[in-house]
Amino acid sequence: MPKIKIALIGVGNCASALVQGLHYYSNGEEEKDCVGLRHLRLGGIHPRDIKVVAAFDIDNRKVGKDLSEAIFASPNNAQKIVDTPLSGVTVHKGPVMDGIGEYTRSIVQLSREPEADIASVLKETDTSMAVNLLPSGAVKASEFYAEQALAAGCAFVNATPCFIASNTAWAKRFEKADQILVGDDLIDQVGATTIHKTLLKLLSTNGVRITETYQLDVGGGTESLDTLERTKDLKRTVKTKSVEATLPYEAKVVAGSTDYVDFLENKRDSYFWIRGTYFCNTPMQIDLKLSTVDAPNAGSVLLDVIRAVKIAADRKLKGTVLPICAYAFKHPPKLVPLETAEKTFAEFIS
C-alpha cells in the first residue's frame, strides 16, 4: 500500500506520542499483541502505512533537527517510550503568529531560522494530510496552516479546539477545493470527557436522575499552561456542551480544565463529581479521580483519524466528513450522542 504522507504542524507532546506510536506499532501483526490501539488495521490500513514527511515548529530546540530528535527536545515532557530511528524529516520553521502566549513566552525558545514556505513544503513532500497540533491558543496560526493546506491541495486534521471544521465557511472552502477537513478538538482515548460521558450515559440509562455534575482537571504540559491563559473558557464551553449532549434531560453540568501544575510534567489528574437520585428519590454521589499521561492519550484516536481520512479521500469525499468528526472530536460540526457517533463511524469504515 502506498504510504499516507502526513505533515505535523507543531512538534509538541502530541506529535511526540504519535511519532513514537508509529514506530512502536510498526511491526504488530495481531490485534492481541498490539495493546493500546483501538484498531490495528482500520479499513485494512496499518499504522506502518502512515509516514510523516514534513514537520513545522518555531522552537530553536526543534527547528533544523531531525524529527526523531525534535520530539524529545524541551519543553516537550511526554515520556520516551521508544527510540525512534532517524526519520530524514528536518523540522521547518513556521511563522509564529499567535503560537506563543504570555504564559508560555518564558518556556518556548524562539528559533531565528528563516520561515519556510509552508504550502511549497507540503507540495514538495507530496503531503496528503496536514495534522494540526498547535497550542490551543494559536487560533490565527491554525487558520494560517489551514490556508496552506488548501493552497497545497491536502486534507486538514484539526486536533486543536480552534473552530475550523465546525465553522461552515471553512467547511465550504475545503469542499470547493475537493479536500477533506476534520475536527475540532480531538477526543482522548481515556480522556476525562469520554469517561464522564460514558458514566453519565450508564447512570441515566439505568434510570438515575443526574442533578449536578462537574469534571475539572490539572496538567503539567505546555498546553495546560497555554490553556490557563488563553483557552480555559473555550475548552470549558466545548467540553460542557459535549458532556451535556449525553444526557437525555437537562442537568447542571460543568466540564473544563482548571490549572497548570508544572511538576506533574505531561501527567494529568482529572476529577469527577456526580450527584443524582435513583429509586424512590434516593440520593447517590460519585467522586472519582483519573490519572493519565496526556500525549499518549491522543495517539490511538489520531491514528484512527488519519486512516479514516485516507479512506474518505479514496472515496472522493470532500469537505467535513461527519462520521469522522463526531467519532474523534469534541466539537464536530454536529454533536451526536456517543453511541450514534460510534455506530456511524463503524458503518463509514465498513
Ligand X SMILES: NC(=O)c1ccc[n+]([C@@H]2O[C@H](COP(=O)([O-])OP(=O)(O)OC[C@H]3O[C@@H](n4cnc5c(N)ncnc54)[C@H](O)[C@@H]3O)[C@@H](O)[C@H]2O)c1
Q: Which residues bind ligand X (CB under 6 A)?
A: 9-15, 56-59, 76, 94-97, 99, 108, 133-136, 138, 141, 159-161, 185-186, 188, 221-223, 294-295, 297-298
- Decide: helix, strand or coil at residue 258: strand
Distance CA 287, CA 183 (A): 31
* Least Å from the CB of residue 235 to ligand X: 8
Nearer to ligand X, 92 or 318 (CB): 92
Do the Cβ atoms of 89 and 139 come closer than 8 Å?
A: no
136/179 with CB nearer ligand X = 136
Q: Which residue is nearest to ligand X (CB)?
A: 12
Nearer to ligand X, 186 or 312 (CB): 186
Least Å distance, CB 266 to ligand X, is: 8
Q: Which three cell numbers stand for residue 295?
A: 500525549
Q: How far is the CB of 191 from ligand X (least distance, A)?
A: 7
Beta carbon nearer to ligand X, 256 or 276: 256
Say if CB 321 and CB 303 are below 8 A apart. no
Q: Smallest distance from the beta carbon of 252 to ligand X, in angstroms?
A: 25
Backbone dihedral region for residue 331 (phi beyond 0: left; psi -120 to 50: alpha; all else: beta): beta
Comparison of 276 and 329: residue with beta carbon closer to ligand X = 329
Query: DSSP alpha helices (H): ranges in the chain?
Result: 13-24, 67-70, 118-124, 139-152, 168-176, 192-205, 222-226, 232-244, 296-314, 322-328, 338-349
d(CA 153, CA 126): 9
Least CB distance from residue 95 to ligand X, whole Å?
6
**Of the two residues 59 and 304, which places its CB atom closer to ligand X in the complex?**
59
Spatial CB neighbours of 267, under 8 Å, sequence gap ≥ 6: 219, 220, 291, 292, 293, 294
Burial-class residue 41 by CB neighbours within 10 Å (0-12, 13-18, 19+). Answer: middle
Q: Nearest to residue 192, comparing CAs of 275, 269, 301, 285? A: 269
User: Residue 276 or 299: which CB sits closer to ligand X?
Assistant: 299
CB 44 → ligand X: shortest distance, Å? 26
Q: What is the per-residue burial (b if ≥16 Cβ within 10 Å, else e) of 283-300?
A: eeeeeeebebbbbbbbbb
Least distance from ligand X to the Cβ atom of residue 65, Å:
12
Q: How far is the CB of 276 from ligand X (least distance, A)?
A: 28
User: Is residue 202 classed exposed, middle or buried when 0-12, 13-18 and 19+ CB atoms within 10 A define those classes?
Assistant: exposed
Q: Is 333 exposed, middle or buried (0-12, 13-18, 19+ CB in 10 A)?
A: buried
Nearer to ligand X, 310 or 330 (CB): 330
